[in-house]
Chain A
Amino acid sequence: MSLDQTTDWSSSELMATVLAGELHDGEVAIMGTGSAIPQASCRLAQLTHAPNFSYIAGGTCSVNPYQQPLVASACDYRLLRAETAVPLTDVVLMEGRGDVFDIFFAGGIQIDVYGNCNLVAVGSWNHPHPRGPGSVGLPFLSRVGRTLIYTMSHNRRTFVEKVDFRSGPGFLEGPVSWREAGLMGGGPAMVVTPLCAMTFNPETLRMRIASLHPGVELQQVVDATGFEIEIEEPVPNTAPPSPEQLDILRAMDPDGLLR
């Protein structure tokens, strides 16, 4: 899916390059379900600016998979074409330790202004509509490094003022509750969608637009977001993927999962 006909890269490829820019040499990242975009971003970072970056792929818990090829399922056997692998139980154990993993990729059927994620239920938990799949490891967002949130759905159903069910903690109810909780994790750092990249105002802890993807108007983001999003004008444009980045992404993605 191309954003407009003058570009020859897709939303997913752009999102992978934006996320890759947030990953630093020497860090360790973890991720869960349906994670082709973060996996591509991690491998891209390793092959460009962050050769000593490590990442652990979903429930297979392979460490530094070679993405030969990039796969859609987080537990695919082909992810074991990797440097090594660790047992899932060890990864869960060290998520609790809290100082091992720097980045946790997250998402949700709802994401709110403070970066709280919901993978469980829209509406009441007893009578949800829709019922989400469940939260897996997202409660660890409270404890692990910083959170990078990504979603393909930038609309008012997904981006809400307050999640109906908090299954992945962000900045909780805002600055007061966040300070009182004194959590070990650093909280959400960035949200990437097909329209824009967003960060959080360090004072209000509310989501704000960081950059607009090429071809996207500011009003589009405002209209597609179910809360008042902070804007500091002028809003810069997201840098498009470089030819080198696109070459790397396409070499690992013969099945076109990101196209």
Chain B
Amino acid sequence: MGASKIVPISDAISSIVEDGSFVAVGGMHLHNNPMALVREIIRQGRRIGKLLTSPCGAMNADLLLGAGLVDELVTSYVGFEHLGLAPNFRRLAEQGSIRILECDEPYITHGLYAGAGGLPFIPLPRGLEYSDIPKVNPESYAYAEDPFSGERVLVGAPLSPEVALLHAQLSDAQGNAVLLGAHFLDRSMALASKHVILQVERIVSTEEISSHPMGTTIPAFLVDAVVLAAGGCHPTSSHAFYTYDEEHLRQYLAMARDERGTDEYLTRYVHQTTEALYSQSTTDRISGLRYEGSLEERGR
């Protein structure tokens, strides 16, 4: 039992995310993106020195890119799956105005493991060197001699973010967090990052957490701040709570085709609102996005 880490979202960002930090942003594809934290970073205009996505970033990365706040991007995918390419990522990449550290999923996964374990580098399975990715990213990939076989082996640099921005469905006030659906790489990001800011759908009692201790995804000792953000993944999904808002995402994709539309989107949905107001204004939409048989609907 420790002190509560529940803080207002503005304090969580202003006190933990320093300008120029290496930030990992959780969620995968159209799911569990910590959008409340992402929007607050944009409101505060925090520059991100290096942004790491899970293997697959979506709105979480594209909105930060569109806000012009990212210097370097470490990723193996930014897109909107069946809904289309990521407009800001695509535009900045085609203009050459964002530095991309091109990665693949095995490197990001094992690189976080190396970061979490203090491993100086991590050897990667043979065969990965036959993609062109290591050639364009010497900062993340290199070759070393395998001391056992003497063979040349592809290795990856450890990934050690300063801050991880993550979404959990449930957490107690100290930050013992439960992801009710898939974990993606969120747990790895928590293990590898110096600081963790958690946004959660619901605060529960420590008794509820400790009744299933092995069901805890992230232990509180890794968590610096807990932000209550019901509906905070919108317009992406929060597993077990609500699905993604396809209509809103399509609206974003249409607006973000150019810089002006992106600015309009940011003005309307980020700068001219607070997270409390955003949450209020999307309550009705989100109740329409709950699916039959969701864990929340069934009660837990």
Listed in ascending order, the chain A residues whose CB lies under 8 Å from chain B are 33-34, 36, 58-62, 72-78, 80-81, 85, 87-89, 92-93, 95-98, 119-121, 125-140, 142-143, 165-169, 172, 181, 183-185
Contacts and interface: CB of A to CB of B under 8 A. Distances in A.
B75 A88 contact: no
B77 to A, nearest CB: 4
Nearest to B291: A78
B39 interface: no
Contact of A135 (B124, B131, B240): B131
A134 B77 contact: yes
A131 B106 CA distance: 21
B76 A135 contact: yes
Nearest to B294: A77
A167 B134 CA distance: 10
Contacts of B81: 33-34, 72-74
Given A34-B81, A134-B78, A135-B105, 10 more contacts: A62-B182, A88-B182, A120-B133, A133-B79, A135-B131, A138-B104, A139-B133, A140-B127, A142-B130, A167-B104
Please give me the 9 A-B residue pairs with the lowest Cβ-Cβ distance, nearest first: A133-B79, A142-B127, A134-B77, A96-B125, A131-B93, A139-B131, A143-B127, A137-B105, A169-B130
Interface string B77-89: 1110110011001
Given A33-B77, A74-B81, A136 B56 contact: yes
B284 interface: no
Interface in B25-58: 28-31, 54-56
Contact of A133 (B28, B77, B188): B77
A184 B126 CA distance: 9
25 contacts: A33-B29, A33-B81, A60-B181, A72-B82, A77-B31, A77-B294, A80-B181, A80-B239, A88-B109, A88-B184, A88-B185, A89-B185, A92-B109, A130-B94, A133-B86, A134-B76, A135-B105, A139-B133, A140-B106, A140-B127, A143-B125, A167-B133, A184-B126, A184-B127, A185-B127
A73 B27 CA distance: 13
A87 B54 CA distance: 14
A95 B106 contact: yes
B204 interface: no
Contacts, number: 179
A75 B182 contact: yes
A89 B128 contact: no
Interface of B: 28-31, 54-56, 75-79, 81-82, 85-86, 89-90, 93-94, 96, 102-106, 109-110, 113, 124-128, 130-133, 136, 181-185, 187-188, 237, 239-240, 243-244, 291, 293-294
Contacts of B86: 133
Contacts of A85: 182
B113 A135 contact: no
B239 to A, nearest CB: 4
A73 B29 contact: yes
B96 A126 contact: yes
A80 B106 contact: no
B144 to A, nearest CB: 17
A78 B136 CA distance: 37
A95 B293 CA distance: 32
Contacts of B106: 92, 95-96, 137, 139-140
Contacts of B76: 134-137
A166 B124 CA distance: 18
A33 B90 contact: no
Contacts of B30: 73, 75
